[in-house]
Amino acid sequence: EFVVGVDLGGTKIAAALFDSEGQLLNREQMETAGAKTAEEVVDRITSMIRRVSDGRLLRGIGMASPGTVNSRDGIVIHGTNLPEWSHVPLKAWMERDLHTEVQVLNDANAAAWGEYVRGAGRGSTNMVYVTFSTGIGSGIVLDGKLFLGSNSFAGELGHHIIDPSGPRCNCGSHGCWEVFASGTAIGLAASERMLTQSSIMSELAAGEPGVSAKHVFEAKRLNDPVAVEVIDRAIYYMALGLVNVIHSFNPDRIVIGGGVSRAGDLLFPQLKEMTDKLVMPSYLGTYELVPAELRDDVGLVGAAALFQ
Ligand code: ADP
Ligand code: ZN
């Protein structure tokens, strides 16, 4: 019995065929741009699924989609990076075309489930997955089950408000966690200061559209004082949010993914130390903080794992 996982992203769509053990057998991807309407995107996805499955009988198709997703009915309510995507009945359209059960998850929830079943979350019971990327995404696994909430909207930890007098967030609120601790926030904080104060970062970012979190971590490796300061502050805010997560869910493991997690040793020891410093003492030693193991395919792996 085979399963297909699909990751629908703002820039690319990837689809992969898995066997019942979760072994990846076949994978394909294409650019999202070019297809204008939701119908066109769905047509492309269904032909990708037909190609990767190559006539094999499927137990199900798991889809990861950006934005707000109604997982019960398989409707993409608002596709954040997919313009024109509003109330798209993905499940109904695809089941009509492919005659196979389709499940749709928000991409962060799919990634959380992927890490839980196939990655760094294996063996834990209560796990929270947090991705520090362009924004901050998250997904929550409680008692071994993906926690979706009443409307499948749960897990928007990136929009926990940690300072109502803080800068405005894309969601319309002020001072959300992601405004202080995402990769974008790190890049912005550095670019506000680097031109006058950091020649190392100016050089690293030369020829690129702007300074990004990646440059800031590279500059920190070179002991650039501005980078050190920007990252200290970002890690303080990352830890502050993680402490809220720990106090809310009492997880035994927090899995950290996203581009910023690639900073590895420049991030993890300091983040652990700061989290331990800010958490209530009774929680010390109750959680592990570990890097994600799955990379680009985490969303489609997690969506497929819904059927495995
Ligand atoms: P997306 O949000 O599109 O899923 P990513 O998860 O790759 O993208 O996150 C992008 C962010 O990660 C950017 O802010 C980028 O600067 C940052 N990033 C990428 N690689 C690294 C790295 N090695 N160290 C620190 N930050 C990184
Ligand atoms: Zn927000």
pLDDT surpasses 80 at 197: no
Per-residue buried b or exposed e for 215-246, using 16+ beta carbons within 10 Å of the residue's own CB:
bbbbbbeeebebbebbbeebbbbbbbbbbbbb
Among protein residues, the one with the nearest Cα to ligand 1's atom 4 is 133
Q: Is ligand 1 within 6 A of the CB of residue 158?
A: no
Mean pLDDT across the chain: 94
Q: How far is the CA of 293 from the centre of ligand 2 (A)?
A: 27
CA distances from 68 to 174, 187, 212 (A): 20, 26, 27
- Atom of ligand 1 minimally distant from the CA of 257: 6
| Beta-bridge partner residues of 254 | 128, 289
Q: Is ligand 1 within 6 A of the CB of residue 76?
A: no
pLDDT surpasses 90 at 154: yes
Which pTM value belongs to this model? 0.95
Q: How far is the CA of 231 from the centre of ligand 1 (A)?
A: 14
Asked if 107 and 139 touch (Cβ cutoff 8 Å), the reply is no
Q: State residue 11's pLDDT score.
A: 87
Q: Is ligand 1 within 6 A of the CB of residue 298?
A: no
Q: Is ligand 1 within 6 A of the CB of residue 81?
A: no
Q: Which two tokens stand for residue 137?
A: 């995404």
Q: Which two tokens stand for residue 6?
A: 């699909």
* Average pLDDT of the segment spanning 105-123: 98
Question: 26-52: per-residue pLDDT in tens?
Answer: 999 998 887 778 999 999 999 999 999
Tokens 């650039």, located at residue: 224
Among protein residues, the one with the nearest Cα to ligand 1's atom 13 is 183
Return the SS3 of 51. helix
Q: Which ligand is nearest to the CA of 162?
A: 2
pLDDT surpasses 90 at 192: no
Q: How far is the CA of 213 from the centre of ligand 1 (A)?
A: 7
pLDDT surpasses 80 at 61: yes
pLDDT surpasses 90 at 202: no
Q: State residue 145's pLDDT score.
A: 98
- Atom of ligand 1 minimally distant from the CA of 182: 14
φ/ψ of residue 17, rounded to 5: -100, 135
* Average pLDDT of the segment spanning 125-149: 97
Return the SS3 of 146. strand
Q: Is the ipTM of this complex over 0.95?
A: yes
Q: How far is the CA of 205 from the centre of ligand 2 (A)?
A: 27
Question: 250-271: per-residue pLDDT in tens?
Answer: 999 999 999 999 999 999 999 9
Asked if 102 and 61 touch (Cβ cutoff 8 Å), the reply is yes
Please report, for the chain, how many H helices and E strands are present, in that order. 10, 13
Site to probe by mutation for ligand 1, drawn from 82, 134, 222, 294 as the one with most ligand atoms within 8 Å of Cβ, is: 134
Residues with CB under 5 A from ligand 2 (ion): 159, 169, 171, 173, 176
Tell me the H-state helices in 54-136: 90-98, 107-118
* Average pLDDT of the segment spanning 7-20: 94
pLDDT surpasses 80 at 106: yes
Q: State residue 79's pLDDT score.
A: 85
pLDDT surpasses 70 at 195: no
Q: Is ligand 1 within 6 A of the CB of residue 133?
A: yes
Q: Is ligand 1 within 6 A of the CB of residue 260?
A: yes
Lowest pLDDT segment from 91-95, 192-196, 218-222, 232-236: 192-196
Q: Could you tell me the pLDDT band of residue 175, with boundaries at 50, 70 and 90?
A: very high
Tell me the H-state helices in the chain: 38-53, 90-98, 107-118, 177-181, 183-197, 199-204, 213-221, 225-249, 268-278, 298-305
Q: Is ligand 1 within 6 A of the CB of residue 48?
A: no
Q: State residue 196's pLDDT score.
A: 61
Q: How far is the CA of 190 from the centre of ligand 2 (A)?
A: 21
- Atom of ligand 1 minimally distant from the CA of 259: 12
With a pLDDT cut of 70, the percent of the chain lying above it is: 98
The residue count for the chain:
308
Q: Is ligand 1 within 6 A of the CB of residue 230?
A: no
Q: Is ligand 1 within 6 A of the CB of residue 187?
A: yes
